[in-house]
Amino acid sequence: MSYPLRALILEDNPDDLELVVYELRRAGFDLEWVHVDNKDDYRSHLNSTFDIILADYALPQFDAARALQMLKQGEYDIPFIVVSGTIGEVVAVNMMKEGADDYLLKDRLARLGEAVKRALKNKRMRLDKEQAELSLRESEELYRTLVETAPEAVLTTDLDGNLTFVSQRTLHLFGYEHADEILGKSSLNFIAPQEHELAMENFSQAFETGEVERIEFTFLRKDGTTFIGELNAALLRDDTGKPRGFISTAMDITDRIKTQEALRKSEKEYRNLVDNALVGVFKTSLEGQVLFANEAVADILDFDSAEELISEEAITRYRYPEQWEQFLIEMQDKGQVENFELEVVTKKDRYKHVLMNATIEGDTISGMIMDITNLKQAERVLLLTMQELERSNEELEQFAFVASHDLQEPLRMVTNFLQLLEERYKNELDADADEFIAFAVDGASRMQRMIKDLLEYSRVGTQGQAFVPMDCEAVFMKVGENLKVTIEENAVSLTHDPLPLVMGDETQLGQLFQNLIVNAIKFRGDQSPEIHVGVVQKDSKWVFSIKDNGIGIDPEFADRIFVIFQRLHPDGEYPGSGIGLSISKRIVERHGGRIWVESKPGRGSTFFFTIPVEHAAGKTAP
């Protein structure tokens, strides 16, 4: 078998060169060689492609020593063998010291092949060793970096538990400055005395099983303070597999414990809140199987306890299946439902109305339910009561209308005949009789007026017109026209804000404005009347105001004046029958509003009434 060999041969004697080549080939090398015989050629050919350099010790103007020097300066790692006819022991040793791999005497060239092989082998071994050392250094470096950058403190001990290595983080964690302070001492120095026994147990366990994981310890710092930490330990073995110590990692878990405690606390608080909530809180599978429910859900659905509900399809015990279908459709569409009303059948077969809010989270539905059965019942009762009230109100209106209408006829007869009596027998009977007749006539005509008023009052409900969009501005103008004479006679200053469009009964709203303005003039004080009709929008209502500078009203009577036939003054003082404000009140209420007065005696009055803002009416706030 032949080995390729590229040789640089420094030789001035052709015979010697030939011999060298011959010997190398004889030794089995597949030789490729470059021959040089002087310094310049040597320099120009020197490069790293050569496997070996063979140099004659002495040349005319050059020698092997300098050739070797140039090789080393060039930092080429090529084995260098000196081949010489005359070389003394001292020179040879020196050459070897300088880095030559071998030297040979020319008369012993038969050994050349062996020498070259040895030199090549030496080089290979040296390279392998260097490589191995490098890898070792690299892997040590890697482990050191890992150990020092690991979030945990890393330490090793021998089998007796004495520390053999501690990372910087270990020193820091346990409050030491230098490894020397602690190396060689027992690792129990890191553990609170009361837990030494536990530590020993864990180390024997690690010895038996190879490792222990996540053991919680009270760790001890150098200064005597303690903290809660976690320890992992594994058995270390030597090359033969014999246990030789332990490697452990330790970390401070105080924060983790605090966080866990805070989490537990907040979970408990949340649990308490949910447990004591008045509304039912639940979690179900998508099929409606209960995964969690609080007591309120159990109460609502007539179960004995929340546990009893778990895994029941309790929420799906619905009364109307289509409601449940609708619930599921909405859930799927929007991922949640809000204020969904459902009628369910409880475990005791009772029907209940529940209100439900729910959200899909992954493959569960969580939500809240509230029992609104009582609320629903109350709503129904209220509706019935209102219907009943409406009906009886209607009946009453009807009655008042019929009564006042039908009473008019006989009363007219009484009045007419009384007047006849008065005309015909005045001064013929005695003075008492004249006075009695006058009282009767007066009473009858007052009664007639009251019946007329009553009729008018009842007509607000029975004979009102349908609501249409109407301009209050126009209505107000008409009222101004109607009252033109009164206004002029009393030198009234009547001003107004721009008035809005509303939905209403034009005649009745005209009457309302008129009643209030007439009163404002009638109950005037000493100065000439100043009346202002204002309006502001508040939320969904117009608030109208009719403000005067008249005699005012004692707040004590502020409600009474809206009752039919209630007046605050004797008949003679101010004319009237006490019907105006009660009619006004009925009109406002028919329009869905309310009326009230704010006043003080002698300081004028302001009457307010509201009318809903109807979007159909269009006009915005003036």
Binding footprint of ligand ADP on the chain (CB under 6 A): 519-520, 523, 548, 550-553, 561, 567-569, 576-582, 605
- 491: its two tokens: 């030198």
H/E segment holding residue 56:
strand 52-56
Phi-psi region for residue 18, left (φ > 0), alpha (ψ -120 to 50) or beta?
alpha
β-pairing, 52-56 vs 3-10, is parallel
In the beta sheet, which residues pair with residue 369?
280, 356
- 69: its two tokens: 């020097």
Nearer to ligand ADP, 156 or 605 (CB): 605
The set of residues, in sequence order, having a beta carbon less than 8 Å from that of 369 and lying 6+ positions away, is 279, 280, 282, 297, 300, 315, 354, 355, 356
CB of 575 to ligand ADP, least distance (A): 7
CB of 493 to ligand ADP, least distance (A): 15
CB of 447 to ligand ADP, least distance (A): 16
Q: How many CB atoms lie within 10 A of CB 10?
A: 28
| Interhelix angle 89-98/64-73, nearest 10 degrees | 10
Residue pointed to by tokens 């439900």: 356
Is 273 in contact with 262 (CB distance < 8 Å)?
no
Nearer to ligand ADP, 187 or 519 (CB): 519
Phi-psi region for residue 213, left (φ > 0), alpha (ψ -120 to 50) or beta?
beta
Nearer to ligand ADP, 367 or 580 (CB): 580
Dihedral sign for Cα atoms in the order 360, 363, 367, 371: positive
In the beta sheet, which residues pair with residue 211?
234
Nearer to ligand ADP, 605 or 610 (CB): 605
CB of 569 to ligand ADP, least distance (A): 5
Nearer to ligand ADP, 576 or 622 (CB): 576
- 358: its two tokens: 């729910």
- Of 397, 416, 514, give the one whose Cα is nearest residue 455: 397
Give me the phi and psi of 129, to 5 degrees please: -65, -45
CB of 425 to ligand ADP, least distance (A): 34
CB of 566 to ligand ADP, least distance (A): 6
- 337: its two tokens: 């439902």
CB of 407 to ligand ADP, least distance (A): 20
Half-sphere exposure of 539 (CA within 13 A, CB side): 2
CB of 513 to ligand ADP, least distance (A): 13
Indicate the residue whose CB is closest to ligand ADP.
576
CB of 399 to ligand ADP, least distance (A): 22
Distances (CA, A) of 332 to 283, 327, 359: 16, 9, 10
Nearer to ligand ADP, 355 or 568 (CB): 568
Give the burial string for 21-41 (b: 16+ CB within 10 Å, else e): bebbeebebebebbbbbebee
Is 406 in contact with 413 (CB distance < 8 Å)?
no
Measured between alpha carbons, how far is 459 from 490 in angstroms, rounded to an integer?
Answer: 31
Nearer to ligand ADP, 535 or 561 (CB): 561
Nearer to ligand ADP, 284 or 584 (CB): 584
Nearer to ligand ADP, 218 or 606 (CB): 606
The two counts, helices (H) then strands (E), for the chain are: 17, 22
Nearer to ligand ADP, 461 or 550 (CB): 550
Nearer to ligand ADP, 219 or 513 (CB): 513
Nearer to ligand ADP, 109 or 551 (CB): 551
CB of 508 to ligand ADP, least distance (A): 15
Nearer to ligand ADP, 109 or 520 (CB): 520
Distances (CA, A) of 282 to 168, 190, 292, 334: 52, 49, 5, 19
CB of 346 to ligand ADP, least distance (A): 56
CB of 565 to ligand ADP, least distance (A): 8
Measured between alpha carbons, how far is 295 from 574 in angstroms, rounded to an integer?
Answer: 69
CB of 367 to ligand ADP, least distance (A): 56
Phi-psi region for residue 572, left (φ > 0), alpha (ψ -120 to 50) or beta?
alpha
- Amino acid identity of 604? G
